[in-house]
């Protein structure tokens, strides 16, 4: 249960901006939205939850953590079963049980794509008939439930909605993995573009009027051969209905864009120091900067203990290995005095060799990580490292343990 | 195939392995459990490799393809989410939609749905130049967005096509992460439900036939012995069973840590790590052995924690699905050398 030896959170100011000694504590106290992004499998969800827990513990106010990851992981990390689409407060008892005293309220929600779409249709539909027809259209079922892009869109929609209701002082958002996270940023605009598409109008034309002109006729013939008439009709019906909500989407896309580039919003890129995730994280950091979005923090998870990198322990490990026979002989009487069963030189030799090998193995990985970190191009205000925890984080106290590493 | 007898590491302890000297176990290799013969994995024609992000999907897909090609098969490895990692795993130049032989018998490509559509139109509708029918090139993006599943069907369609045409002995797909793979595998069925007639309908029929044939198509779920990846793998297995016709052929557990000690050895280690013996050892080697002992302790604890997850994984996955174990690699950087190592481990697990 003990955290790894180097369990000391280190923050460094970037070389380019030597005066900045930012902390996540400071960063989050000035923001209203924190979007955690980065590659998969690096502890993004847990990190987002930990940041939210820390904010609710030290800043007070109402803090919401919103997960948009299709996998239902936040419930695990927060020790809450079945967080639904609606925001729910993490009960004070849960904090007390973990020996914590919350200053504020911690809320959590997980995005249910289908339910959120339904709610969106109900809100935007101009009349009841349109609403019912959309909800009953076979394509709608698929668009809203099954396909990923709709998830990206609805995540931004939901974030916008929650933020504009103004119930929370801080919203921490967890996102799908990197490349998707870019989709996630673009999703509102893509949808708006889509509804204004000339092609959409083309496709809809023959079902509105029977007028098909010479230029577009081949297009329908091909489309018809590929998709079949009924399917085309379904598509057209769906989009004719959807067009009635076009203005709403267009406005929303612009508003979401403004919200993301607002000074109250910041991005927290989460990664490990493994080569592949780190490349992805760097790609994302670069992309954020290119879009003039605020890269507030980089959090590096699962970093191996620093003692693995020291030259002295490495020498000791080499000695243990090279001189295993001799050392085992010498240690045999020492261990025998503790327990007669332990005085087997062969066994001692094997243990010494295993221990040394294991150290040297992990050292290779630790050195590689350290090298990766040194080359980290992104230079945000806050860079936090989190040690490799030897137990899983699955409850509030675990989240606090992680949170403390990144907080100040 | 099931060459390992003895307890799996997933019993959470070293108990069943009295002196811990079994070489297979000491490399962290548990015995293979599973009814299906795993060698049959290489007899499949189409293998999707999925899993939670970050567990080593691309590593496993690249290694599987490499291993199959080393067995003399003509193999196509296809990267679907276009991150460009596959090329890196073979240290080859970036791949594209046009397949290229990057190692003997091993071809690689990157999925591009637009190129796939163009190829499809050319083959099926005999429309050689897309530009000639006006807005079709542009229309693609529109149709793909408008008709859900079009992108997915073009991906799956291209892969199934390569299988149907018998262009390769085996097609290995570095598929999307577990959150998204279902949408892809279920796309032909979804389209089938939506589209009652037309060319697409006849297309999805044969695709479904290939995907549903358990002797032809399989899914490999890649996992690491950690909490969230295990949860997600179990969830994936359930969804694959309920929402698709594709068979889960195997679960590959990546990054299994080696077992350091047997029980008696651990007692020796514990004694060594107490103050007196540690000081004695320090004198003998002329340096502080504490960090080295700490590292071993960390390794042991990490492995223990992971064992409990492995146990959950075994219980959460149907007993007929084999679990294949790949060791944690203490290597510098990933590249062809690493891919070869993983391929060799995978080969051993497959009984070669």
- A126-141 pLDDT per residue, tens: 889 988 988 888 777 7
The pLDDT tens digits for B159-197 are: 999 999 999 999 999 998 877 788 889 888 877 877 776
Contact criterion met (CB below 8 Å) for B196 and A361: no
The pLDDT tens digits for B237-250 are: 999 999 999 999 99
- Averaged pLDDT, B122-146: 57
Answer yes or no: do A51 and A129 share one domain: yes
CA angle A222, A223, A229 (to 5 degrees): 120
Contact criterion met (CB below 8 Å) for A53 and A401: no
Q: Measured between alpha carbons, how far is A400 from B51 in angstroms, rounded to an integer? A: 28
Contact criterion met (CB below 8 Å) for B79 and B58: yes
Check residues A312 and B352 and name the one with the higher pLDDT. Answer: A312
Answer yes or no: do A347 and A266 share one domain: no
Residue A249 lies in a domain: yes
Q: Number of folded domains in chain A?
A: 2
Q: Measured between alpha carbons, how far is A243 from A251 in angstroms, rounded to an integer? A: 13
| Phi, psi angle pair for A86, to nearest 5° | -85, 150
Tell me, what's the pLDDT at A68?
Answer: 65
Question: Smallest Cα–Cα separation from A397: which of A121, A83, A99, A185?
Answer: A99
Q: What is the ipTM of this complex?
A: 0.81
Tell me, what's the pLDDT at A308?
Answer: 95
Q: Measured between alpha carbons, how far is B256 from B226 in angstroms, rounded to an integer? A: 10
DSSP state at residue B105: T
Tell me, what's the pLDDT at A206?
Answer: 57
Considering only CB atoms, which chain A residues are within 8 Å of B285?
316, 319-320, 323, 327
Check residues A243 and B261 and name the one with the higher pLDDT. Answer: B261
Domain residue spans of chain B: 9-260+308-349
Question: Smallest Cα–Cα separation from A195: which of B147, B150, B146, B152?
Answer: B146
CB-based burial label for A404 (10 Å; 0-12, 13-18, 19+): middle
- Averaged pLDDT, B53-77: 94
Check residues B8 and A26 and name the one with the higher pLDDT. Answer: A26
Question: Smallest Cα–Cα separation from B249: which of B275, B225, B214?
Answer: B214
Considering only CB atoms, which chain A residues are within 8 Å of B228?
41, 45, 71, 73, 76
Question: By three-state DSSP, how is residue B249 classified?
Answer: strand
CB-based burial label for B260 (10 Å; 0-12, 13-18, 19+): buried
- Which range is least confidently modeled, A263-277, A336-350, B88-102, B193-207? B193-207
Neighbours of B72 (CB within 10 A): 10
The pLDDT tens digits for A79-91 are: 556 656 788 888 8
Q: Do B232 and A71 touch (CB under 8 A)?
A: yes
CA angle B350, B351, B352 (to 5 degrees): 100
Considering only CB atoms, which chain B residues are within 8 Å of A72?
235
Report the residue of chain A nearest B149, measured CA to CA: A147
Q: Please, what is the average pLDDT of chain A? A: 80
Residue A3 lies in a domain: no
| Phi, psi angle pair for A389, to nearest 5° | -80, 135
Check residues A384 and A139 and name the one with the higher pLDDT. Answer: A384
Residue A2 lies in a domain: no
Query: Half-sphere exposure of residue B258, counting CA atoms within 13 Å on the CB side?
Result: 19
Residue A32 lies in a domain: yes
Highest mean pLDDT, choosing among A5-19, B27-41, B102-116, B118-132: B102-116
Residue B243 pairs in a beta bridge with none
Report the residue of chain B nearest A318, measured CA to CA: B285
* B267 CB within 8 Å of a chain A CB: yes
Tell me, what's the pLDDT at A257?
Answer: 87
Report the residue of chain A nearest B286, measured CA to CA: A316
What CATH fold (topology level) applies to the domain B9-260+308-349? Answer: Rossmann fold (3.40.50)
DSSP count for chain B of H helices, then E strands: 14, 8
Residue A128 lies in a domain: yes
Answer yes or no: do A150 and A178 share one domain: yes
Parallel, antiparallel, or unpaired for β B106-110 and B100-103?
antiparallel
Q: Do B145 and A179 touch (CB under 8 A)?
A: no
Tell me, what's the pLDDT at A30?
Answer: 92
Q: Do B301 and A224 touch (CB under 8 A)?
A: no
Question: The domain that contains A249 carries what CATH number?
Answer: 3.40.50.300
Measured distance between the N- and C-terminal CA atoms of chain A, rounded to whole angstroms: 23
DSSP string of A158-220? Answer: HHHHHHHHT--SEEEEE-S-HHHHHHHHHHHHHHHHHHT-HHHHHHHHHHHSS---TTTHHHH
Tell me, what's the pLDDT at B215?
Answer: 92
Question: Smallest Cα–Cα separation from B328: which of B352, B299, B297?
Answer: B299
Check residues A317 and A96 and name the one with the higher pLDDT. Answer: A317
Check residues B140 and A192 and name the one with the higher pLDDT. Answer: A192
Using pLDDT thresholds of 50, 70 and 90, give the confidence band for residue A334.
Answer: very high
Question: Smallest Cα–Cα separation from B208: which of B37, B46, B316?
Answer: B46
Answer yes or no: do A194 and A241 share one domain: yes
- Which range is least confidently modeled, A138-152, A288-302, B203-217, B314-328? A138-152
Q: Measured between alpha carbons, how far is B140 from A223 in angstroms, rounded to an integer? A: 10
- Averaged pLDDT, A220-248: 71
* Residue whose structure tokens are 């389209």: B191
- Structural domain of residue A197, as residue ranges? 10-308+367-407
Contact criterion met (CB below 8 Å) for A361 and A308: no
Tell me, what's the pLDDT at A147?
Answer: 52
- Please enumerate in sequence order all residues whose Cβ is within 8 A of that of B80, keeping only pairs 6 or more positions apart, or say none: B111, B155, B173, B174, B175, B176, B184
Report the residue of chain A nearest B267, measured CA to CA: A342
Which structure tokens are listed for A233? 């009709």
Q: Do B198 and A229 touch (CB under 8 A)?
A: yes
Question: By three-state DSSP, how is residue A35 classified?
Answer: strand
Neighbours of A257 (CB within 10 A): 18
Q: Do B258 and A368 touch (CB under 8 A)?
A: no
| Phi, psi angle pair for A207, to nearest 5° | -95, -15
CA distances from B53 to A44, A386, B135, B179 (A): 11, 20, 37, 9
Using pLDDT thresholds of 50, 70 and 90, give the confidence band for residue A214.
Answer: low
Q: Measured between alpha carbons, how far is B316 from A8 in angstroms, rounded to an integer? A: 36
Radius of gyration for the alpha carbons in chain B, expressed in angstroms and rounded: 23
Distance in Å, alpha carbon of B275 to nearest chain A alpha carbon:
12
Answer yes or no: do A286 and A239 share one domain: yes
Answer yes or no: do A357 and A235 share one domain: no
Residue A34 pairs in a beta bridge with A172, A266
Report the residue of chain A nearest B120, measured CA to CA: A226
Answer yes or no: do A228 and A176 share one domain: yes
* A280 CB within 8 Å of a chain B CB: yes
Name the residue facing B277 among A331, A344, A392 (closest C-beta). Answer: A331
A241 pLDDT more than 90: no
Contact criterion met (CB below 8 Å) for B209 and A174: no
Tell me, what's the pLDDT at A207?
Answer: 55
B36 pLDDT more than 70: no
Radius of gyration for the alpha carbons in chain A, expressed in angstroms and rounded: 27
Tell me, what's the pLDDT at A318?
Answer: 97
Q: Do B190 and A142 touch (CB under 8 A)?
A: yes
Q: Do A358 and B258 touch (CB under 8 A)?
A: yes
Contact criterion met (CB below 8 Å) for A77 and A58: no
Answer yes or no: do A290 and A385 share one domain: yes
Using pLDDT thresholds of 50, 70 and 90, give the confidence band for residue A95.
Answer: confident
Q: Measured between alpha carbons, how far is A293 from A295 in angstroms, rounded to an integer? A: 6
Answer yes or no: do A246 and A359 share one domain: no
Using pLDDT thresholds of 50, 70 and 90, give the confidence band for residue A18.
Answer: very low
A11 pLDDT more than 50: no
Tell me, what's the pLDDT at B108?
Answer: 96
DSSP state at residue A126: S
- Residue B259 CA to chain centroid, in angstroms? 23
Using pLDDT thresholds of 50, 70 and 90, give the confidence band for residue A396.
Answer: confident
- Averaged pLDDT, A235-253: 76
Count of A-B CB contacts under 8 Å: 259
A251 pLDDT more than 50: yes
Tell me, what's the pLDDT at A119?
Answer: 83
Answer yes or no: do A198 and A89 share one domain: yes
Residue A1 lies in a domain: no
Contact criterion met (CB below 8 Å) for A206 and A217: no
CB-based burial label for A258 (10 Å; 0-12, 13-18, 19+): exposed
Name the residue facing B136 among A197, A222, A358 (closest C-beta). Answer: A222
Q: Do B200 and A327 touch (CB under 8 A)?
A: no
- Please enumerate in sequence order all residues whose Cβ is within 8 A of that of A334, keeping only pairs 6 or more positions apart, or say none: B276, B277, B280
The pLDDT tens digits for B289-341 are: 999 999 999 999 989 889 999 999 999 999 999 999 999 999 877 789 999 99
| Phi, psi angle pair for A390, to nearest 5° | -85, 0
The pLDDT tens digits for B215-235 are: 999 999 999 998 888 988 999
Considering only CB atoms, which chain A residues are within 8 Å of B288?
312-313, 316
Considering only CB atoms, which chain B residues are within 8 Å of A281?
none
Percent of chain B with pLDDT over 90: 54
Answer yes or no: do A126 and A167 share one domain: yes
Question: Smallest Cα–Cα separation from A352: which of B281, B327, B202?
Answer: B281
Distance in Å, alpha carbon of A386 to nearest chain B alpha carbon:
16
Q: Do A223 and B139 touch (CB under 8 A)?
A: yes
Answer yes or no: do A300 and A344 share one domain: no
Using pLDDT thresholds of 50, 70 and 90, give the confidence band for residue A314.
Answer: very high
* A231 CB within 8 Å of a chain B CB: yes
Q: Do B146 and A392 touch (CB under 8 A)?
A: no
DSSP string of A361-383? Answer: HHHHHHHHHHHHHHT-----SEE
Sign of the Cα pseudo-torsion (B215, B176, B231, B182, in order): negative
| Phi, psi angle pair for B51, to nearest 5° | 155, 170
Query: Half-sphere exposure of residue A45, counting CA atoms within 13 Å on the CB side?
Result: 27
């Amino acid at each position: 249960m003990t955290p790894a030896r180097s369990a000391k959170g280190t923050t460094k100011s970037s070389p380019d901006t030597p005066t900045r000694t930012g902390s996540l504590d400071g960063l989050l106290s000035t923001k209203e939205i924190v979007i955690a992004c980065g590659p998969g499998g690096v502890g993004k969800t847990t990190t987002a939850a930990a940041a939210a827990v820390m904010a609710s513990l030290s800043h007070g106010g109402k803090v919401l953590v919103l997960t948009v990851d299709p996998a239902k992981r936040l419930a695990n990390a927060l020790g809450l079963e079945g967080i639904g689409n609606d925001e729910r407060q993490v009960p004070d008892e849960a904090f007390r049980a973990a020996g914590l005293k919350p200053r504020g309220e911690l809320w959590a929600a997980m995005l249910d794509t289908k339910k959120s779409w339904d709610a969106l249709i109900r809100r935007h539909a101009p009349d009841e008939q349109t609403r019912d027809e959309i909800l009953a259209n076979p394509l709608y079922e698929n668009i809203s439930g099954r396909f990923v892009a709709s998830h990206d869109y609805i995540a931004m929609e939901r974030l916008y909605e929650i933020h504009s209701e103004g119930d929370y002082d801080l919203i921490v958002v967890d996102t799908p993995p990197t490349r998707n996270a870019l989709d996630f940023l673009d999703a509102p605009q893509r949808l708006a573009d889509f509804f204004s598409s000339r092609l959409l109008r083309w496709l809809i034309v023959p079902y509105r009027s029977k007028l098909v002109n010479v230029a577009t006729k081949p297009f329908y013939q091909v489309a018809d051969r590929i998709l079949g008439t009924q399917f085309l009709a379904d598509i057209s019906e769906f989009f004719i209905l959807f067009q009635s909500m076009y203005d709403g989407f267009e406005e929303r896309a612009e508003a979401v864009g403004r919200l993301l580039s607002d000074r109250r919003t910041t991005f927290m890129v989460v990664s490990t120091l493994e080569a592949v995730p780190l490349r992805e994280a760097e790609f994302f950091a670069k992309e954020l900067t290119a879009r003039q979005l605020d890269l507030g923090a980089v959090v590096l998870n699962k970093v191996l203990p620093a003692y693995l990198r020291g030259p002295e322990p490495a020498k000791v490990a080499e000695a243990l290995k090279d001189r295993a026979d001799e050392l085992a002989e010498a240690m045999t009487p020492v261990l025998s005095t503790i327990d007669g069963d332990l005085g087997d030189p062969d066994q001692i030799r094997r243990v010494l060799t295993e221990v040394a090998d294991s150290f040297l193995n992990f050292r290779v990985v630790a050195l590689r990580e350290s090298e990766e970190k040194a080359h980290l191009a992104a230079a945000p205000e806050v860079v936090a490292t989190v040690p490799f925890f030897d137990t899983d984080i699955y409850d509030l106290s675990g989240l606090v343990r992680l949170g403390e590493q990144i907080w100040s | 195939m099931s060459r390992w007898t003895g307890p799996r590491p997933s019993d959470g302890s070293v108990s069943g392995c009295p002196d811990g000297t079994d070489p297979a176990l000491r490399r962290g290799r548990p015995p293979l459990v599973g009814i299906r013969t795993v060698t049959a994995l290489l007899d499949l024609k189409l293998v999707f490799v999925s899993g939670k992000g970050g567990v080593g999907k691309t590593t496993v897909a690249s290694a599987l393809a490499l291993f199959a090609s080393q067995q003399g098969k003509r193999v196509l490895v296809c990267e679907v989410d276009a991150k460009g990692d596959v090329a890196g795993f073979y240290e080859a130049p970036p791949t594209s939609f046009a397949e290229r032989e990057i190692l003997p018998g091993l071809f690689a490509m990157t999925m591009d749905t637009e190129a796939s559509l163009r190829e499809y139109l050319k083959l099926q509708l005999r429309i050689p130049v897309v530009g000639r029918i006006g807005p079709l090139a542009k229309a693609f993006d529109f149709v793909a967005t408008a008709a859900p599943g079009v992108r997915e069907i073009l991906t799956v369609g291209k892969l199934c096509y390569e299988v149907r045409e018998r262009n390769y002995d085996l097609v290995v797909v570095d598929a999307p992460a577990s959150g998204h793979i279902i949408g892809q595998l279920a796309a032909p069925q979804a389209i089938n439900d939506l589209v009652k007639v037309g060319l697409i309908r006849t297309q999805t029929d044969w695709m479904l036939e290939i995907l549903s044939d358990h002797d032809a198509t399989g899914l490999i779920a890649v996992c690491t012995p950690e909490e969230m990846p295990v949860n997600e793998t179990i969830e994936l297995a359930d969804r694959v069973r309920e929402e698709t016709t594709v068979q889960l052929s195997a679960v590959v557990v990546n990054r299994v840590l080696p077992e350091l000690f047997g029980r008696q050895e651990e007692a020796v280690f514990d004694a060594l790590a107490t103050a007196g013996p540690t000081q004695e050892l320090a004198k003998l080697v002329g340096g502080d052995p504490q960090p080295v002992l700490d590292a071993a302790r960390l390794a042991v604890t990490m492995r223990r924690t992971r064992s409990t997850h492995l146990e959950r994984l075994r219980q959460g996955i149907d007993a007929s699905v084999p679990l294949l174990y790949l060791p944690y690699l203490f290597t510098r950087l990933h590249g062809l050398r690493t891919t070869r190592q993983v391929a060799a481990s995978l080969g051993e697990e497959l009984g070669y």
